[in-house]
């Protein structure tokens, strides 16, 4: 791949990425933790080379507890990784918490600044209701205007996050442009809406991240912060984001 005259290439040497897991509660495998440490190194290399632009995507909403909820801060680096060479990686036990294992990766990372172009990438999402009852099934359809992939997340009223699609029963597949896809894709899979508290109303949000290239998200259980970090590695011109908030009530 050759860069145009508008592109800028930098080599960041010896950048260190880390990711820690708690052995008592983490569902991540060692392979996934190593990959997350590598992703952290890539993100830090981009930030060191080109800095970080912080943008707030979507409006701030109010949760059922009266707190601000569901604004999404996107840390956009304005570049991409074009070469990644691991120099050293491994793991060690934390000196502070005995149950914490820290995975690390030291690498030389070659990155390229990209001219930010306005994208015509769009996708439609249909079928999401404004109100659900506890244990209702979640059904929806998506239709992109470009060949792409999608990661779908659920953010709860309390900031917890879940990767709904892809999952262990539904692998990531390329969505063809101008075609409609119904979810769940697997007839044996079910997305169930769960109300976690006795509060009259809980507010949840679905976030759809459509990307022209496949960018797999490795954590089934996650958080808004981890989603934001992952987004920073996806060029703005190669993604489309859609979100939809809904209430969960008792029958």
CA distance 113 to 195: 44
Q: Tell me the per-residue pLDDT of 43-79, one tens digit each, with 9 for 90 and over.
A: 888 888 887 655 544 444 444 444 444 455 555 666 7
Coil, helix or strand at residue 30: helix
CATH code assigned at 235: 2.60.40.2550
> 170 and 144 in one domain?
yes
Q: Name every residue whose Cβ is closer than 8 Å to that of residue 229 and which is 6 or more positions away in sequence.
A: 39, 40, 43, 75
92 by Cβ neighbours in 10 Å (0-12 / 13-18 / 19+) ranks as: exposed
204 token code pair: 């949840």
116, 141, 174: which is the final residue of a domain?
A: 116
Kindly report the pTM of this predicted structure: 0.67
116, 145, 172: which is the final residue of a domain?
A: 116
The answer to whether 143 and 123 have CB atoms below 8 angstroms apart is yes
- In this prediction, residue 39 carries a pLDDT of 87
Q: Tell me the per-residue pLDDT of 116-138, one tens digit each, with 9 for 90 and over.
A: 555 788 999 999 999 999 999 99
User: How does DSSP classify residue 174?
Assistant: P
- In this prediction, residue 1 carries a pLDDT of 33
> 108 and 123 in one domain?
no
Q: Tell me the per-residue pLDDT of 157-200, one tens digit each, with 9 for 90 and over.
A: 777 889 999 998 999 999 999 999 999 999 999 999 988 888 88
- In this prediction, residue 52 carries a pLDDT of 64
Residue carrying the six token digits 């697997």? 186
For residue 12, what are the domain limits? 1-116
In the predicted model, what is the mean pLDDT of residues 238-251?
A: 87
Phi and psi at 83, nearest 5°, equal -155, 135
């Amino acid at each position: 791949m050759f860069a145009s005259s508008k592109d800028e290439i930098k080599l960041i040497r010896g950048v260190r990425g880390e990711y820690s897991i708690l052995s008592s509660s983490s569902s991540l495998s060692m392979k996934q933790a190593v990959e997350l440490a590598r992703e952290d190194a890539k993100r830090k290399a981009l930030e060191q080379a080109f800095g970080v632009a912080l943008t707030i995507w979507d409006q701030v909403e109010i949760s059922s507890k009266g707190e601000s909820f569901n604004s999404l801060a996107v840390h956009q680096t304005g570049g991409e990784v074009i070469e990644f060479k691991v120099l050293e990686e491994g793991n060690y036990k934390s000196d502070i918490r005995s149950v914490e294992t820290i995975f690390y990766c030291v690498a030389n990372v070659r990155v390229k600044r990209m001219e930010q172009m306005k994208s015509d990438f769009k996708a439609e999402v249909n079928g999401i209701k404004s109100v659900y009852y506890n244990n209702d099934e979640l059904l929806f359809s998506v239709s992109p205007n470009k060949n792409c992939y999608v990661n779908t997340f659920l953010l709860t009223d309390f900031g917890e996050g879940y990767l709904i699609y892809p999952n262990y029963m539904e692998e990531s597949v390329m969505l063809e442009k101008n075609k409609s896809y119904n979810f769940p894709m697997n007839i044996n899979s079910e997305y169930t809406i769960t109300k976690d508290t006795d509060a009259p109303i809980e507010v949840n949000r679905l976030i759809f991240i459509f990307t022209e290239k496949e960018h797999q998200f490795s954590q089934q259980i996650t958080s808004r912060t981890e989603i934001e970090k992952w987004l920073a590695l996806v060029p703005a011109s190669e993604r489309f984001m859609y979100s939809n908030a809904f209430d969960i009530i008792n029958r």
